[in-house]
Structure 1
Amino acid sequence: MLDAVMSRRRTMLVSATIRLGYAWMVRREESRAWREVMSMTGVVNSILGTGREALTPAELVDQLSRHPLRRIAPEVFDDDPLGRVTVLEWGEISDDVYSDGCSAIVSLLEKGDRGRGWMPTWTWLQHEIIEHEAFLGLKVGANDAEYVIRRRFPIEHPAGERETIAAQCSDAGILPPVRYVPIPPDRVHQGRYWWPCPACRWPMRVNGAAVRCSYRAHNAEYAIRSLKDGQPPKLRPRDDTVRRQPAAKIVHPDGHRQTVCVEFPVWRYIVVPGIEELKLHKKWDGKPPLTVHVWPHQDAYDVKFAIKELDWTLAIDLKDVASASALADEIAKKPLAAKTIVLPDHRGIAQRAELQDLLPDYTVLMVDDVNRIVKKKLAEARRAQ
């Protein structure tokens, strides 16, 4: 049974610290940031309770920069993976937030929320609302086949030159299905170079001589190797487990060749999970008598496998978030059309077991489990032919 009270405390604390962290990051440019820092410090202290000495804004910022959330509030997080999030790094929002924290945002201040005039929506809107808004643009006026084309496009083209993306849209017979914006400055080296993540192809984050994808599971972390004057810098993988390093690309600040990328919410909620969904589709598509459909009925669920001769189908919904309890809460409020939930393998069997306990009416699998099941059913069908 879900502990709704504890889950709410946990997501409130995550939300308040992320809002505080964002406000701290932009405090020099945004006059309203200090008010937000004070307000969110109050929210955090109220969640921690009266039994503890209240933290000042400076103390809280220091703790958010040096410790994961479970160190600040062990009784709130217990063993939940959200407790591993460190909110601030290098004086900015950390990659932990981009990878996992943003999926646990809840609304904190329903009335009089001054942050909604200047903070990005992902810092105060629940991710399913942001997903819904992004998906609306993909669905408007589209039939099922057109929806798939629109949905695939930002996954396969998350960044590049504006004129190239426009040409690729033209080739696909669509208008740009999502908004493309100039590459953020924290993803540019020396105002001149950027690197796409080898896994998701979105611009990697740059800090001094370090470059890495903000989605930690993509395991893309490098050091910059400076070469002779006039030569583009190259990357050196952190260790031998890291993917092969991409080549540097030139940043074009404006004009038809302006370097652009999809906005952060589209990257995190459409591109990142879409990589796994398309990988499953590509792995099994074109292997009769198996048929595979991705995002059928305009995303009623993510992938559907079927073998007519066996009267067998498997419809799955892939979910990629850090906290099983937060995901279970979300699904309890809005049940899924597919009764099989699939987790990326990097989330681990512990999350699978926890989610299965929390959602006994669903079957919870890992991606590797799906591949084994489909392989077995395909072999069975071919033997029967």
Structure 2
Amino acid sequence: MNGATDDHQFGPMPPWRAVVAATVRAAYAWSKRHEQPGAMREAARMTGVVMAAHGPGKGPVTPAELAEALHRPLGELPCLKDCPETEAAEMILLENGQLTAAVYDLACEYSAPLGEAIGRAAWLPTWTRMRADQIRQEAYTAMIATGRQEDYVASRKFLIEHPAGQFDTLREQLSKEGARLAPYGYEEIPEDQLHRDQNSQAWWFPCPVCRWPMAVTGDLVRCRYRPHSASYRIRRRPASARPALDRVDAGPRIATPKAALAAGARCVNAGIWRFVVVPGAAELRLYRALDKPGVEVQLWPGADSYDLHVKVGRHEYKADLKEYQSIGRLVDHLTTTRPTAEVVLPVTHEHQLSALENAVPHGVRVTTETRFRTRILNLRRRTNP
């Protein structure tokens, strides 16, 4: 198959969604064209998907032309000029031939099936060829294998708290805690998330929020998830010294990450990181803020029917944290899958509240992490004077 697509490959979804998914895969393939033998073939296939959406004589017709277009906002592609999703239309996928952070922000939120033959490129990472819900389901299937709620919670907490580290240590902890992970488990830290010092020794830097290896571009270091906004520069030090970071942005104060040796280290893959670890960091943060005397907090009840069940005296609350970059995608999700709990926007997404309140289906309650936390802790003070 040369990348051409047909109606059944778009399925019931609008064609623009398949185009966005194809451009993400094309961008990844283009960034790996010098390393991965199948990359140019994949870029050609995805160019075919984009060509089919444009129709004859419109849009890029070669992988190189498509790659050039992906250095500009996606909305400039003729077939995406009327894209209803502002976030997708504004995405720039490539910068100097390399993936931008925006790819990781939105890739799986816009993923789409592109046909069985196209989907067989096994070297592609999961986040380029699977939807977010598929990635979550694979991970959760492994975690609920025993059928015991306590095992599920232990496994999920382990994954969120240990997205990277020395593999020998991780294996020992996994065995000790009985945690179960997704089939692909841990893998080597990608080269573009490593810093090599003057002695060619490799180091990685954990994000201070999610603890996954941050991206390294020259001497600049930052988490690929943009809401984890801290940015750093690698400080010049003697060749024998451990690399150190200096903060270069004006964001909230947060502990500066310390460099860790890459030899023997592993991390979860980008799909598990983005759609299990990233939202899990917010879930655990709220859990720990509420886990105080006088407050009963249960994580992921019913193997993740929702995120938190909170009880203060005779008062009970259910919270389901939602961390979407795209408000439109979140509204779609809440429309098709009505939540069984109050929707809570994490601190990084509290700016979405007003727009979301005006767009969610009738009967869906929405609040922020700050407001939910304040409500529970104030109730605790009144109930337990």
1:250 and 2:253 are equivalent in the alignment: no
Judging by fraction of residues, say which structure has more helix.
Answer: 1
Alpha-carbon deviation of 1:241?
A: 2.0
Q: CA deviation at 1:160?
A: 1.0
Where does residue 217 of structure 1 map in the other structure? 227
**Residue 195 of structure 1: CA displacement?**
0.9
**Aligned equivalents of 1:348 and 1:71: distance in 2?**
29
1:151 matched residue in structure 2: 156
Letter in 1 for 2:94: L
In 2, distance between residues paired with 1:237 and 1:60? Answer: 36
CA contact (8 A) 1:70 1:83 kept: yes
**Does residue 106 of structure 1 match 2:115?**
no
2:298 corresponds to 1:293: yes
**What is the aligned partner in structure 2 of residue 314 from structure 1?**
317
Offset at residue 115 of structure 1 (A): 4.3
Going from structure 1 to structure 2, the CA distance change for 1:92 and 1:115 (only over 3 Å counts) comes to: farther
Match of 2:330 among 327, 330, 337: 327
Match for residue 361 of structure 2 among 345, 359, 362: 359
Which amino acid is the alignment partner of residue 374 of structure 2?
R
- Give me the whole-angstrom Cα distance separating, in 2, the residues matched to 1:351 and 1:11: 25
Does 2:172 align with 1:167? yes
Q: Distance in 1 between matches of 2:94 and 2:60?
A: 20
Query: How far did residue 88 of structure 1 move?
Result: 1.5
Q: Does residue 375 in structure 1 map to residue 380 in structure 2?
A: no
- Give the aligned residue type for 1:368: T
SS at match of 2:325: coil
Distance 1:145 1:63, change over 3 A: same
Q: Quickly say closer, same or farther: Cα 1:131–1:114, change in 2 above 3 A.
A: closer
C-alpha displacement of 1:144: 1.3
Is the alpha carbon distance of 1:141 and 1:176 closer, same or farther for their aligned partners in structure 2, counting shifts above 3 Å? closer
Distance 1:370 1:70, change over 3 A: farther
**SS at 1:193 equivalent:** strand
Q: Does 1:177 align with 2:181?
A: yes
Aligned match of 1:187:
193
Deviations 1:135-166 (A, max 9, x none): 11111114112211111001111111112222
**Cα distance in structure 2, aligned partners of 1:55 and 1:122:** 25
Q: Which moved more, 1:21-30 or 1:71-80?
A: 71-80
The reply on whether 1:231 has 2:241 as its aligned counterpart is yes
Query: Using the alignment, how far apart are the partners of 2:145 and 2:276 within structure 1?
Result: 17
Per-residue CA distance 1:33-74 (angstroms, 9 max, x = gap)? 323222222322443466955554322211212x22234466
**Any conservation in 2 of the 1:284–1:292 contact (CA below 8 Å)?**
yes
Q: Distance in 1 between matches of 2:56 and 2:327?
A: 29
Hey, what's the Cα distance between the residues in 1 that align with 2:334 and 2:55?
Answer: 29
CA-based RMSD of the aligned residues comes to 2.6
Deviation at 1:171, TM superposition (A): 4.2
Say whether the 8 Å CA contact 2:313–2:383 is kept in structure 1: no
* Residue number in structure 2 paired with 1:135: 140
Residue 207 of structure 2 is matched in structure 1 by: 197
Query: For structure 1, which runs of at least 5 residues remain unmatched after alignment?
Result: 253-257
Query: 1:316 touches 1:340 (CA, 8 Å); kept in 2?
Result: yes
2:89 to 83, 106, 112: 83
Q: Deviations over 1:274-329 (max 9, x none)?
A: 111111111111230x31111111111111112343xx322121111111222333
Judge which range, 68-77 or 211-220, deviates more.
Answer: 68-77
Give the direction of change, closer, same or farther, for the CA distance of 1:50–1:314 in structure 2 (3 Å limit). farther
| Alignment pair present for 1:274 and 2:250 | no
| Cα distance in 2 between the residues matched to 1:313 and 1:221 | 39
What secondary structure, in the 3-state scheme, does the structure 2 residue paired with 1:216 have?
coil
Closer/same/farther in 2, CA of residues 72 and 187 from structure 1, 3 Å limit: same
What is the number of equivalent residue pairs in this alignment?
Answer: 368
Distance 1:247 1:349, change over 3 A: closer
For residues 311-356 of structure 1, give each alpha carbon's deviation from its aligned partner in whole angstroms, at most 9, with x where no partner exists.
x3221211111112223333444443x2322222322434652365
Deviation of residue 27 (structure 1)? Answer: 1.9
In structure 2, the CA distance between the partners of 1:220 and 1:142, relative to structure 1 (3 Å rule), is farther
Distance (Å, rounded) in 1 between the aligned partners of 2:342 and 2:261: 43
Quickly say closer, same or farther: Cα 1:51–1:340, change in 2 above 3 A.
Answer: farther
The code of the aligned residue for 2:306 comes to Y
The equivalent position to 1:206 in structure 2, one of 211, 216, 230, is: 216
Change (3 A) 1:38 1:91: same
Query: Partners of 2:70 and 2:284 in 1: how far apart?
Result: 36
1:345 matched to 2:351? The reply is no
In structure 2, what residue type is equivalent to 1:134?
A
- TM-score normalised to structure 1 length: 0.86
Instruction: Provide the secondary structure at the position in 2 that maps to 1:342.
Output: strand
The corresponding residue for 1:92 is: 98
Give, in whole Å, the separation in 2 of the partners of 1:286 and 1:308.
Answer: 13
| Contact kept? 2:136, 2:275, Cα under 8 Å | yes
TM-score (norm 2): 0.86
Q: Secondary structure at the match of 1:76?
A: coil
- Greater relative CO (CA pairs within 8 A, separation 6+): 1
Task: Return the alpha-carbon distance in structure 2 between the equivalents of residues 361 and 141 of structure 1.
Answer: 35
Deviation at 1:212, TM superposition (A): 1.2
